Amino acid sequence: MSATGILSLPQDILFLLPEYLNNIEDFMNMSSTCTRLRDCMATATPRVILRLAAAQANVFFRPSPHFLATATARELGNWARRSDANEKELALKLEDGIDGLLELALDHCGLTMERIRELHLLRFSLINPVTDIIDQCVGQKWCGTPNFWSGGVDDAYTISAEPSDTLFHLAMYGELFAPDFEPLLNQDSSSRRLSVDTRLEFIKYCIPDFACFRGGLFTARTGTLHDAAIDPRRNVKATGPYARGPNGRTPYSKDNNIALTWVIRSTRFRPRYKNIRAKAGVAEFQEDFDDGWWFDEGSNEDWRQRLWEDIMICQGLDGLGMLRPDTQHQWMGKIREWREKIAKLDREPPLTKVGRQATLEYPYLLGDLRICASGYVLGT
């Protein structure tokens, strides 16, 4: 049908057009045809726009499905907080990995064109620069450091990672779980939070790692490792990113869990946040705090420092703007507010035991990562 033929249709029919388009490129082309069609395309719901974007995720929203899954994760997490049934549905879908997360988002979330434009601006102002920082922590730039194995870096290790994937793993965790910090900081026990169990499902399947799969699989089948024999939450099913191929083998995956752990603890990453806290004009709770691989319940002010640092790195995609000199000023007030509220807490939030290890009731990314990779590479 020609453009003239389309325009001969009644207005109420034209308003339905977005639902019958194939992808976001068709949507943009239709919007630029004429004023009347542009106005009709403007009535498209966020859910329709998300579906059209997902149809071309490999073209305009790379890495796919990481980009769109991250863009919708906060809304999806808020949907899951509405009821136990919603959270159960989320946890089950997480077994399909990031693909499953995006599939669920297509049913319950949406995107606006305004947000899509913002995200594409972030590609150049934030995503690419922060990916470069991560590359210096676990990527080819890190591995390419002269004398890598002989003192060139202070944390030499064999890690296979894609820095852009690692960035979105960090951002996605924050988008899903950052809202759970607010009830803690505001000492509001009535607000519903996502459970530790759901967080571990996310880590296992959306930050897939051979360390998670082998650790959980060996333990569940043979009891070789004690943690999952004691606590089945460490078990990992051969599904989603771990699904066996035609040859009966699980496809190779990057060291995603270990890579993100390495980034969080890297001397090329953590000091950047310390410098931002200094610029905010507030003192550390604990100088030279080292949240090492071995989890130790905090003493004195240690737990407050742990919470403060964890909140800062778990603020989702926009929160990574704290690492950019041109945008970090926007976060100074929030950094001071977080510290003030943490100082008012009279005790560390409760631990949650998982096997022989523990994570915390609040979204404790490093603790969650350790539990899921425990017993394979870096100890139990």
pLDDT tens readout for residues 263-279 = 999 999 999 999 999 99
Query: Is pLDDT of 251 > 50?
Result: yes
- What confidence category does residue 375 fall into, taking pLDDT thresholds of 50, 70 and 90? low
Which long-range contacts link 284-287 to residues 24+ away (Cβ below 8 Å)?
A: 285/339, 285/342, 285/343
Number of Cβ atoms within 10 Å of the Cβ of 317: 24
Distance CA(349)–CA(256), nearest Å, equals 28
- Scanning 223-329, the segments in alpha helix (DSSP H) are 226-230, 256-265, 270-279, 302-313, 316-319
Query: Is pLDDT of 3 > 60?
Result: no
Residue 300 Rama label (left phi>0; alpha psi -120 to 50; beta): left
Residues 127-143: what's their mean pLDDT?
97
Torsion angle in degrees (nearest 10) through CA of 33, 38, 41, 42: 160
Give the containing element (helix H, strand E) for 41.
Answer: helix 35-41
- The whole-number pLDDT of residue 214 equals 67
| 115-119, 353-357, 367-371, range with the lowest pLDDT | 353-357
Query: Is pLDDT of 140 > 60?
Result: yes
DSSP secondary structure, 175-201, as one string: HHHGGGHHHHHTT-SSS----HHHHHH
- The whole-number pLDDT of residue 235 equals 87
**Amino acid identity at 35:** T
ω into 146 cis (within 30 of 0): no
- The whole-number pLDDT of residue 296 equals 53
Tell me the sheet residues that pair with 55: none
Residues 284-312: what's their mean pLDDT?
79
Query: Is pLDDT of 324 > 80?
Result: yes
| 191-195, 245-249, 312-316, range with the lowest pLDDT | 245-249
Number of Cβ atoms within 10 Å of the Cβ of 105: 24
Query: Is pLDDT of 223 > 50?
Result: no
Give the containing element (helix H, strand E) for 365.
Answer: helix 365-373
Tokens representing residue 354 in the block: 């998982």
Looking up tokens 């403060």 gives 308
Tell me the longest C-alpha to C-alpha distance in the chain: 74
Closest CA to 366 of 313, 317, 319: 313
User: What 8-state DSSP symbol labels residue 32?
Assistant: T
- The whole-number pLDDT of residue 266 equals 95
Residues 234-250: what's their mean pLDDT?
87
Tell me the sheet residues that pair with 354: 357
User: What 8-state DSSP symbol labels residue 232?
Assistant: G
**Amino acid identity at 175:** E
Closest CA to 162 of 62, 268, 266: 62
Query: Is pLDDT of 225 > 50?
Result: no
Contact 287, 149 (CB under 8 A): no
Contact 265, 369 (CB under 8 A): no
HSE-CB for 13 with a 13 A CA cutoff: 6
- The whole-number pLDDT of residue 336 equals 98
Query: Is pLDDT of 224 > 90?
Result: no
Query: Is pLDDT of 147 > 50?
Result: yes
| 199-213, 249-263, 366-380, range with the lowest pLDDT | 366-380
- The whole-number pLDDT of residue 86 equals 98
The proportion of the chain whose per-residue pLDDT surpasses 90, expressed as a percent, equals 68
- Using DSSP's 3-state secondary structure scheme, residue 28 falls into helix
| 148-162, 339-353, 363-377, range with the lowest pLDDT | 363-377
Distance CA(107)–CA(101), nearest Å, equals 10
- The whole-number pLDDT of residue 220 equals 42
Contact 206, 170 (CB under 8 A): no
- The whole-number pLDDT of residue 342 equals 97
Number of Cβ atoms within 10 Å of the Cβ of 152: 13
Number of Cβ atoms within 10 Å of the Cβ of 28: 15
Contact 355, 234 (CB under 8 A): yes
Give the containing element (helix H, strand E) for 103.
Answer: helix 97-108
Distance CA(368)–CA(354), nearest Å, equals 10
Query: Is pLDDT of 374 > 80?
Result: no
| 18-32, 52-66, 158-172, 215-229, range with the lowest pLDDT | 215-229
- What confidence category does residue 31 fall into, taking pLDDT thresholds of 50, 70 and 90? confident
| 38-52, 90-104, 222-236, 343-357, range with the lowest pLDDT | 222-236
HSE-CB for 161 with a 13 A CA cutoff: 31
The proportion of the chain whose per-residue pLDDT surpasses 70, expressed as a percent, equals 89
Give 27's contacts (C-beta < 8 A, 6+ positions apart). Answer: 18, 21, 41, 44, 49, 52
Query: Is pLDDT of 104 > 90?
Result: yes
- The whole-number pLDDT of residue 1 equals 47
Residues 141-160: what's their mean pLDDT?
95
